[in-house]
Every structure is written in structure tokens, then in C-alpha cells.
A and B are shown apart, each in its own frame.
Chain A
């Protein structure tokens, strides 16, 4: 019988990734699952194994419910607006002369590099009670709005995120547009497909896989919002801007209920997985419709 030869080289070249995944993904995941069934605060030598108590409690926690629904409330406008503005910027930049394209793309990318903390501080000043904007609206139009303590806070946070991320997603769109062959456009033009029709019938279908990536990335982003509500609203008013990340942070590092916080993180991961799978399924169907 011929002895099966063990080829070790693939293992060697994959070792860094395997080690990375084990150390930074699987071990923390196993540890988080273990932590979620305890009441440990990460400091005390004593803790109890509480089985699924933390998970049961999640269903009755109004903050968790708010985080769950808010993540979906954030998702819809963020995905739609990021796609819309990403597409608009991508299309605009693609029409620029080649020597300006790079510069324009970088300019739109700059907000992505700006720290969430500094942006939040600027926004806090802009929408504070005694800011120029608030004073102007109050004195000229009699509009006395507490921006960050009203329903407007939610929309302000969305606006900040869309402003920050649109330029980044526009780079994806731009690379998709640039990869569409000129021949396709020329053939379409011969058939009378110009202007907006060209965008709708040629460009959009041709960059569908890119748009799919953008949709999934933007959807994932909606579950990771932290610094904006943390610095601007603290999740209020009345939990209307709270997020999973903010609640996980408050539970684990303010209330020191790390076990419960880990349970929250696991349920959050589950929600992300289900939503992203749903969106992927929908986008794949859309892709197939356009021949991808």
C-alpha cells in the first residue's frame, strides 16, 4: 500500500493566518462564550457560573431592545444614503479629467480619515444651544431646538456617518466604474443609450458586484456605531440613539457586568450575521438578475 505523502508546505504558508485566526478570532470567541455564562466582572477572583441567565435577561432589557431596533433604524438610511452619495461622488469623479481624478478622490476620502472623536466635538459645538446656528434660528425664526436632546439627534448621527463614509465607498464605486470597458458604452451609444439611461442601463448593472460589497460593508457599519452617540448623546434622548456597541461598553466597563456584556456581544454578532446573510441573499439574487 502506498503511503500517503504529507505536504507540509501549504500549512507553512497558511500558518500566519491560522495562528492569527486562532489567537484573535477563535480564542476570544470561545472566551466570550464562556464569559457570557458567568457573572464575572473581570476583576474578582470569585464568580458564578450562571448558565443562560445572562441571555434570558437580555430579552427583558429595554436597552438591549432599543439597541436591537435602533441598529435596524440606522441600517436603512445609512445603507441607502451611503450608496446614493457614494454613487454620486463616484460618477462625478469618473467624469473629471484624469489629472484631477486622483486629487478629487482623495478629497472625498478625507472625512473617512478624520477621527470620530474630533468630528463629534465639532458637531457638538455646531449644534450646542449657544452655537451660531442655534442662536440664528432662535433669534431670526423663533426656532428653539435642543438638537442633541430631541429626535433630531438620531438624524444628526446618521448625517455624520454618511458624511464620513460616502467618500470611502465612492472609491469602491469609482474603481468599479473605471473597470467597465469603453466598448460597452460605445455599443450602447450606437443604440441611443446616453445620459441618465447610460447610468441606469449600463453603469449600474456593470458595477453590481461592487455595489453589493458597498451595501454589505455599510450594513455592517450600522452595527458598529459607537463614538458618535457616546460623545454626543450618550444614547439618549430616551434611548433613541443608543447602539449595541454603546450598551456593550456601558454594561461591561461602566456597570462592570462583563459576563452580561459578553452575552450582549454574542447576540449582537448573531443579529449582524442574520442581517448580513439576508442582505447577501437579496444582493446575490439581484446580481444574478443582471447576469453576474
Chain B
């Protein structure tokens, strides 16, 4: 009898061990795991401080940058309710994408108190999901906006009249030109207006054969133009020129299709005129090649670092030069698409009020406190991206960086006119529809033609508008 009972106990214990072992891997590996593993004295220490988790962008330089500022902040011994605030920085998971990583973290309650790397479109999704705090009307946020002189910029970041993102950096997307090709074409200035661009294309057509001798085979290059799934490419190759032609009219506003049909037609006509001189093949590192095969392409500021590493010289007398978005007439504002991301504060049951307040204290320290004097210069030197500041062109503290980086000096002039992408929960679907239904057929049509043999683009414009409307369920 006793033996039987012993057997039962052993069997029971064995089952428990096996089940517990099987479940062990399912435990939270999230932000609090460090605290639960500590001994009692560690626990009491932990309870005397507020741990604020911050997710940096999935880049080593971002992690290093924010870790440096978190350490500075932690050393300042800032307190909340008598407890020290400790900011812990981790790189956000980016498998399969950073947005998916955040989505997963929100669903599983492992989301941090704040993170960077959020664009307006995703911020809109987060706001619709009540997953982020509305920052508008908060005193500290208004102070940051004042200090960084971004009152005007914030208008472009509004989501249904509220602000959810503290914009951090901006990459204005304009155009980039092959300086050697421009020289060969006898052009001494980058195009500013549609007439300038038409003239450049005309000269290219005339001197096409001579240009081939120096390796320039096409007028313009746009990567992945035929790749339907990379909907975000539309932000660069359509939205940026559209912003310029439409004088800043959004494609989508709220749940309404507000696209300026005439402006969209002008953008399509711009591509239509290029004919087979438009190159759409896959080229990695276009501007870093020994021979750049095109006269122009999209101006992507993140290319600058790679271009420098490849030994390319910036300027009209160098290898490449940036130019503004193309406008209709002289004097028009060169609006362009802002590839811009910022910081949000997450709202989740797993984030305590103290952690949220601690996160605000950290942002105050960085943007209006002790960190503000060094932050922007450090940021540019570490990340090679322009911070969102209204005084980029007049701030003396930043001048040393621009003196060393003439490409950024030119680009900073476009920042004030850079407009973030649309804030609609179906932005991805809308831009995919635009690409699949209109841009791809247009480009397939255009590249079969000669330069100047313009197709009738009106049908593509109508299709684009209808496709965007349907995809987004827009009015």
C-alpha cells in the first residue's frame, strides 16, 4: 500500500516536472525578467527605483546613442514619487519588421514605455488602437515644441487634430544629380522647375550618344519602380514630386481622398516624357558606382554616408549633387516628402503611471533639460540624419557639422518644406493600390516609348484616384 502511494507521488512529481519544464520556455522574457530573477536585496533596490524601458531603432548607432543619453540621465538621479528613475535602452525587435515587433509587444504586454522609429502612418495606426498617449496640450510637450521651434512642422504631424509623435529626424526626399553628366550636358545649375527639367531632358536626348561614351545610358533611375509590394517606394517617387506640384495638398486627409488631380497628372507626365530613358532595373548603391549610368534619381539623404565611404565628392564640381523637388513655376515652395520618424509614449496595462512619468522626465531631460545643448549635434554626428528643428539653418551650435558635410548643408534647406506621409490606417493599402493599378502600368507603357513620346496619362490618373479611393474606403 505504502509502495503504491510512493509510486503515485513519484509519478505525480515527474509529471509536474515535465509539464513545468515544457512551459518554462513560454515564460516572459520581457522587460521585468531581470527583476524577478534577483535576490531579496536586489528586489528591494528595484522597488526603490522606477525602471523605464526605451526601445531604440534597430541600428547599433541608435542603441549606442540612446544608451549614452540614458546613462547621463540616470546619473542625474531624477526622482519620481521619491524613487530614482532608471532608463534602460534596448534595440527594438525588427523581425520581421520593427512595426511588427511593436505590434507583438503591445499584444503580449511587453511594450516599452517609449520608443523612437515611429512614422506618421504607423503612429496613426497606434493612435487608432489607443496604444499611444496624446501629447497635445501637455506642458512639457509644448515646451519641447517651443525649444525646437517646430510649431509649423507639428501641423504636418497632426493626427485628427492631436499630436502623438515627438518628431526626431527628417530625411527630405528630393532629387539627386550626376554632376559629371550635368557637366557633359553643359548644365551649371540643378533644375528647380518643370521647365528646367524638360530642358535637361531635351539636352539629354540630343547628347544621348555622347553621354553613352562616359557611361551615362539613361536619364533617370528609380529603384523597384515595378515592384508592387514595396508600396513605400511610392512615397519617394510619386508623393515627393506630387507634394511639390500640388503645393502641399495631401493625397488623403482624414477619410477623404483630397488628391489634386491636376498635380498628379503633372507627376505622371514628368515620367511619361522620359520614355525608355527611365531606368527601373535593380541597382544597389547607384551613387557609389564607379560609373553612374543616369543623370538623376531620387535624392535619398541616407546615401550620403555610403557615398562618402565610396570616396564620392559632393557638389556640382564633384560626383553628385542634391537638388530641390521640381515645382511648376519659379517662386513656388519646394514641398517634398519627409521620411521622418519620431518618439511615442506607449499606453498599455503593463506600463505603470510611474514608468510613464519617468519616460516624460527622460524626454524633458533630453530635449529641454541638460541634454538639449549637445543632443542635436551628437545626433547628427552619430546617425548622419537631420534632427527635426526649425532653426537648422540658423543654429550656430550645428554649424560645425554642416561645414564638414556640404551635402547635408544643401539638404537642410529642404527640411522646412518637408511633409510627412498621410495618416490613414490603410496608408499601406492606399499606396500599394496607387503603385499596382497606376504607376506600374504607366511605367510599363512609358519605357516602351521614346523620349518625348508622351502617353496619354489621364487614364492612369483616373485609375490611380479610383484605386486609392477603393483601397482606403475613402470618400
Residues of A at the B interface (CB closer than 8 Å) are 8-9, 11-12, 15-16, 19-20, 23, 41-46, 124-125, 127-130, 134, 146-149, 233-239, 242, 246, 249-250, 252-256, 258
**Chain B residues near A16 (CB, 8 Å)?**
18, 21-22
Q: B329 at the A/B interface (Cβ < 8 Å)? A: no
Q: Do B107 and A42 touch (CB < 8 A)?
A: yes
A12: chain B residues at CB < 8 Å are 11, 14-15, 18
Please tell me if B293 contacts chain A, counting CB pairs below 8 Å. Answer: yes
Chain B proximity of A239: nearest CB distance (Å): 7
Given contacts A42-B103, A237-B440, contact A129 B281 (CB under 8 A): yes
B440/A41 in contact, CB under 8 A: no
Most chain A beta carbons < 10 A, residue from B100, B228, B283, B425: B228
Q: Which residues of B contact A (CB under 8 A)?
A: 8, 11, 14-15, 18-19, 21-23, 26, 96-97, 99-100, 103-104, 106-107, 125-126, 128-131, 224, 226-230, 279-284, 289, 293, 425-426, 428-429, 440
Q: Tell me whether A256 and B103 are in contact (CB under 8 A).
A: yes
Q: How far is the CA of A8 from the CA of B19 in the complex (A)?
A: 15
Query: CA of A271 to CA of B14 in the docked complex: distance in angstroms?
Result: 40
Q: Is the CB of B103 within 8 A of A128?
A: no
| Residue on B nearest A127 in the bound complex, by CB | B282
Determine if B18 and A234 form an interchain contact, defined as CB atoms under 8 angstroms apart.
no
Q: Are A237 and B228 touching (Cβ within 8 A)?
A: yes
Pick 26 A–B contacts, CB within 8 A, sort by A.
Answer: A8-B11, A12-B11, A16-B18, A16-B22, A43-B106, A43-B125, A43-B129, A44-B128, A46-B130, A124-B282, A128-B284, A129-B282, A130-B293, A146-B226, A146-B282, A149-B280, A149-B282, A233-B227, A234-B224, A234-B228, A236-B228, A236-B440, A237-B228, A254-B97, A255-B428, A258-B103
15 more A-B contacts (CB under 8 A) besides A23-B26, A236-B226, A237-B228? Answer: A9-B11, A15-B15, A16-B18, A19-B18, A19-B22, A23-B23, A43-B107, A45-B129, A125-B284, A127-B282, A128-B282, A147-B282, A234-B224, A250-B229, A255-B429
- Given A43-B126, A234-B227: A249 touches B96 (CB 8 Å cut-off): yes
Let me know if A41 and B129 touch, CB within 8 A.
yes
Task: Name the contact of B99 in the complex, choosing from A233, A234, A236, A253 (C-beta under 8 A).
Answer: A253
A235 with B125: CB separation less than 8 A: no
Residues of B within 8 A of A42 (CB): 103-104, 106-107
Residue of chain B at shortest CB distance from A42: B107
- Shortest Cβ distance from residue B411 to the other chain A in the assembled complex, whole angstroms: 25
